[in-house]
Structure 1
Amino acid sequence: MESNKAAGRTQSQGTVTRVLWENVSGAQLEELLYGLLDAMGARRLVWRAGSASGVTAADGGRDLEAVFDRPGPDGELDRQTWWTECKGRTDTVERGAVQQAVLDASARADLDVLVVATNSRFSNPTRDWVDERTRSRSRPVVRLWDRDHLDRLVQRYPTVAARVLPNSLPDEERLRLLVSRFRELGEEPTSLDLEFFWERRDWLTELESTLLSEALVMFLYTEGISVPRQRPWWQLLTPPDVPHALVTALINLPSWLGKDDMARPLEPMRVWAASGRVLLASLRLLPEDLAALLTCKIWDFVSDGGAVRDDPDQLKLWTDSVLVPVLAFAQNDLLYPCSQDCARVMGDNPHEVESLRATDIWDLLVSGEQKKEESFLVFESIDEPCAVGVDVTDGCPLVVSNRQEPERIVKSLHRVIEFRSETPDGASRRRIGDGEVVVTLLENHGMAWRSVRD
């Protein structure tokens, strides 16, 4: 699947990190080195600071000590002790600072490697002095890490910079690293990140579709289950983004849900909520004839989708475990607003069920905690017509308990969105008559919206 975004938009070619080193403070440099050493496999990684703040040297430097165990040719582990001196500078590091660091390190008989790291650069005379010393002495080995060397390490371990240097990265690099950290570790952007990129939403719409789609599902996941009112991220999608957005929402994000090696595993309910909102935003931009096709047969539009598309068992598994709960959240998001002027259906707002009921109060008084499960009521008068005009032969398609085929649900969602976009006020509410009324209790049991007919 390829995007047809306008020429000039950045193409995604993997994570390429460029740090604005002149904006990196000494404290950030120290924290970055700590994270890089940890990512490189250091053991017993500790600060060697003597004050409560962790800063002792005149230049604000903070020493790091680490142990690396490397397998030797005979299979045994060779242990090396490293000492890292951080030199935050705006200009070239002076040779005297490096010489003093080497002198201090030489007093350590157990030290194997001394790293002097800076966000700036080292002069040629300094490098010549280190090379000359290396020829005459074997321990400790002295290594100079300037900004160019740190750039290479950051590209190798990009998620470290996402955590430590968000304000020192170009906007796109910062976003890519946040997405990478979310995808690989399950770590969410902070509230400051959300505010930062929402203020740059015009810039976000110019990004390549793949990066934009992954960013939007990340932001929507972070916002939680309730509909985000301050930052409606779905508004940033444009028609060329829809194919990638649906692939991300219906295939990629659910696949991240199943990763066992995530430091912070994703929560299923929040995944379905984020994917459901991307789906609704996409349906708003799709013509009717493509809505159900692209949603329910998304595997037909993925280059390597044959493994699922051509295997009935795999396709059914994806439909039941991904498409159905995503559609359920999309249905619930539209049910309450659509029912406000409907003579057929009345229902509670599924996103405002936090008021305490009598049983909740007793739970709090007796056990000190409230039950996690939440529910809301939906009343459907089966004798009344639909204000929007969708087929309600088998019940309103927005009511999850009215089991219907996914394609029919998608077409109904598209019709509701189309109708409400053109006629937000719809028809005036009429009182439910004396016909048969069906009461539905929708309960949230942690994996998907499960409905029970009374």
Structure 2
Amino acid sequence: MADEENGEERSWLIPSEIPFDELKGHALEECLFWLLDGIGARDLTWRVGSAGAGAADSGRDLEARFHVPDATGEIVPRQWWVECKGRAGTLETEAVKTSCNNVVANASVDCLVIATNTTFTNPTRDWVEKWQDRFPRPRILLWDRVVLERMLAQQPATVLRLFEGGLSSAGHLRAIRDRFWNLIEYSSIERIKRIWSERDTLQLGVMERFALIANEFAHGSIDERPWLGICPAKDILETFQYGMFNLIYLYARVMKTGSDQGPIIKTLAYLLLSTLRDFHPDLIREIFRITLRTDSDEPMPDPAVEFFVMPILDSLQTELQLVCSSDCERFSRRDSFKYWEGRAPFESYWSRFGTRGIAPKSNNGSYHRLECTSKPCRIGFDLSDESGCPLYQVQAEMETLDTFLGTVASVIRRRVPRQSTFCVNQ
């Protein structure tokens, strides 16, 4: 199993694209800084020289603290020093000896890492082993090119930060996933396009799929790359469940990072709509019920429910109202299209040379709706009694959630029917 996982990690990395030969001085120190950060180091200190280059090899280049359990299970801090020694050839034994002998006098150091972009000789390793027998503390770790490559293979986000060309498409995918779920950060659209072009060769799990969709909405729209249109209904359901069950976590990360919640809301609305295309609304209702409970298994208070869920339902209802009415004889198309109109470039371009700028576009999404109740519904709702369009009549609220979900399910199934409806009633 370990070999299989190691092989998968290495598939994320293209070793030939990592410039190990040039990884010296400041570059090697920066690489080690982010690698340590990626494995959980705290209180990281980079002792960079005033001239901009790394500190001299005679001293430590990085300091870090790790919190680990001791023999009794108590969490204690461990102080690490890191010395970075970039070389054109094999690292000389004398440099390692000097580092070990210098650090032994400092009782506060628990571990010394000597890192190089090349290799250590066997005599060097033998000397360190004998030295460690005499001085059990601090522990000496020798990180050579092979070790650094293995660590980079486990941290695609670090490779993306430092050596973008060193990531395979699988590595880019994992980096996109990690950046989104850990930081609510979005990647460039070019990376998304690359993954889309190779989607048939990549493994997309629920975390990857959710992150990709959120990235699409962060860049504007999902229409060019419909990630849910290429996967089975079961995968759509699992992705929606995962997003909803992590709803509070996502909102917490948004508030902590100050990110825009818009892409996440649109992602969940898209997943909700896609799930309703194949699964019974009762299942969606159950997912909402599970999501909207406290740690003590009590229903969330109404203000919390409104805070977490209403933006998703509002987003979905607003979009469906506009797109479904845009080609329906019951409505004036002009009113529906007006909502989507942006400011024409010629109206605003010259303002960039002025002193005041142009007034921002209003965020007010209101528009006039003219509905002819004598006309038939475009998708077949029975409105013979001249009642209004269900998408406008039903309220997107928890009290009417069953009716709302049923209406939305009818719309999506009639607008975009599946070739096979084997799971519609599941």
- Do the structures match in fold with TM over 0.5? yes
Alignment match, 1:269: 262
Question: Is contact 1:69-1:79 (8 Å) kept?
Answer: yes
Alignment match, 1:328: 314
Alignment match, 2:239: 245
Deviation of 1:413 (Å):
2.6
Alignment match, 2:124: 126
Deviations 1:128-158 (A, max 9, x none): 1333455678999753113565578669877
| Corresponding pairs, count | 381
For 2:31 and 2:362, the matched residues in 1 are separated by 39
Corresponding position: 1:255 with 2:228: no
Superposed CA RMSD: 4.8
Whose helix proportion is higher, 1 or 2? 2
User: What are the within-5 Å matches in structure 2 for residues 28-67 of structure 1?
Assistant: 30-38=29-37, 39-48=40-49, 50=51, 54=53, 64-66=61-63
SS in 2 for 1:176: helix
Alignment match, 1:429: none
Deviation of 1:314 (Å):
2.3
Deviation of 1:377 (Å):
1.2
Question: Structure 1's 336 and 46: CA in aligned 2 closer, same or farther, altered over 3 A?
Answer: farther
For 1:138 and 1:311, the matched residues in 2 are separated by 50
For 1:218 and 1:120, the matched residues in 2 are separated by 40
Question: Structure 1's 95 and 50: CA in aligned 2 closer, same or farther, altered over 3 A?
Answer: same
Deviation of 1:119 (Å):
5.6
One-letter identity of the residue aligned with 2:314: A
For 2:284 and 2:145, the matched residues in 1 are separated by 46
Residue of structure 1 aligned with 2:281, choices 292, 295, 313: 292
One-letter identity of the residue aligned with 2:360: Q
Deviations 1:12-70 (A, max 9, x none): x9xx844644542234754331113344114432334856xx5899xxxx983336598
SS in 1 for 2:360: coil
One-letter identity of the residue aligned with 1:66: E
For 1:81 and 1:232, the matched residues in 2 are separated by 47
SS in 2 for 1:227: coil
Question: Is contact 1:82-1:114 (8 Å) kept?
Answer: yes
Deviation of 1:233 (Å):
2.8
Corresponding position: 1:222 with 2:221: no
Question: Is contact 2:114-2:143 (8 Å) kept?
Answer: yes
Question: Structure 1's 56 and 194: CA in aligned 2 closer, same or farther, altered over 3 A?
Answer: farther
Residue of structure 2 aligned with 1:377, choices 342, 345, 367: 367
Q: Which deviates further from its counterpart, 113-122 or 342-351? A: 113-122
Structure 2 runs not aligned, ≥5 long:
71-75, 419-426
Alignment match, 2:83: 84
For 1:258 and 1:48, the matched residues in 2 are separated by 40
SS in 2 for 1:380: coil
For 1:63 and 1:246, the matched residues in 2 are separated by 48
Percent identical across equivalent pairs? 23
Question: Is contact 1:186-1:263 (8 Å) kept?
Answer: no
**TM-score of the two chains, using structure 1 as the length reference:** 0.65
Alignment match, 2:377: 386
For 2:248 and 2:387, the matched residues in 1 are separated by 32
Residue of structure 1 aligned with 2:402, choices 404, 407, 417: 407
Whose strand proportion is higher, 1 or 2? 1
Question: Is contact 1:257-1:267 (8 Å) kept?
Answer: no
Question: Is contact 2:268-2:312 (8 Å) kept?
Answer: yes
For 1:24 and 1:379, the matched residues in 2 are separated by 58
For 1:42 and 1:334, the matched residues in 2 are separated by 49
SS in 1 for 2:257: coil
Alignment match, 1:25: 19
One-letter identity of the residue aligned with 1:417: I
Question: Structure 1's 67 and 183: CA in aligned 2 closer, same or farther, altered over 3 A?
Answer: closer
Question: Is contact 2:82-2:115 (8 Å) kept?
Answer: no
Residue of structure 1 aligned with 2:328, choices 332, 336, 342: 342
Alignment match, 1:207: 204
Structure 1 runs not aligned, ≥5 long:
1-12, 424-454
For 2:263 and 2:254, the matched residues in 1 are separated by 19
For 2:48 and 2:226, the matched residues in 1 are separated by 42
Corresponding position: 1:283 with 2:280: no
Deviations 1:185-204 (A, max 9, x none): 22222334322212222234
One-letter identity of the residue aligned with 1:203: T
User: What are the within-5 Å matches in structure 2 for residues 413-424 of structure 1?
Assistant: 413-421=408-416
SS in 1 for 2:115: strand
